[in-house]
Structure 1
Amino acid sequence: MARICELTGTGPIKGSHIWRSGKAKKKGGIGTHVTAITKRRFMPNLQRVKAVINGEVRYIRVTASAIKKGLVVKAPKRTWKKPEAKKA
């Protein structure tokens, strides 16, 4: 399943993890140096939410930021109650 927001289209972003060694100059060292750089991916904070889409209620995967912005119309709470069993 793709890690993409169904509303905003936000997906994973490329980045890198940088390793540094040495002591900072202001702490009395000779400065830090980059020793290795490896690629990594920043994943969006996806949440599974019950929302109203085109008049019907269904589950969608959206980012937390889309929920905070109010882009998602959440489904109303269910008021349906289980029917009571008939006594004989």
Structure 2
Amino acid sequence: MARICSIRGTRVRSGGKIHRSGLAKKKGGIGRHVTKVVKRTISPNLQSKRIWVPELGKFVKTKLSCRALKTVNKNGAFVTLKKAGII
């Protein structure tokens, strides 16, 4: 299954990590230098949850990010899941 939040659509992003070498000037060196930029992936904090929906009287299984879980707590399960098109 893909690493995508079912409510917010948050997915894996790509970015760059900067490699630096050398000793900082304030520590007695000649300064830090960028030697390479390495590609990396940034994964969302996904959780598999069973959310109780009182209006339906059943649990709904979803894979969602922690930010989406806060949204569910704030707005309610039925409203959030209906807006996302899950139910």
Query: Who is 1:81 aligned against?
Result: none
Shift in Å at residue 8 of structure 1? 0.7
Equivalent position of 2:81 in the other structure: none
Q: Indicate the RMSD between aligned Cα atoms, in angstroms.
A: 1.8
Q: Aligned pairs, how many? A: 72
The one-character-per-residue Cα deviations of 1:24-61 (angstroms, maximum 9, x if unpaired) are 11111111111111111100010000014672422100
Given the alignment of the two structures, is residue 71 of structure 1 paired with residue 75 of structure 2, yes or no? no
Q: Distance in 2 between matches of 1:70 and 1:3?
A: 19
* Overall identity of the aligned pairs, in %: 43
Flag the structure with higher helix content: 2
Q: Which structure 2 residues correspond to residues 32-47 of structure 1 after superposition, within 5 A?
A: 32-47=32-47
Q: Structure 1 counterpart of 2:37, which letter?
A: I
Aligned structure 1 segments of 4 or more residues deviating by more than 6 angstroms: none
TM-score norm. by structure 2 comes to 0.71
Aligned equivalent of 1:62, options 61, 64, 76: 64
Flag the structure with more relative contact order, 1 or 2, with Cα contacts below 8 A and sequence separation at least 6.
2
For structure 1, the residue ranges without an aligned partner over 5 or more in a row are: 74-88
State which structure, 1 or 2, has the greater radius of gyration over its C-alpha atoms: 1
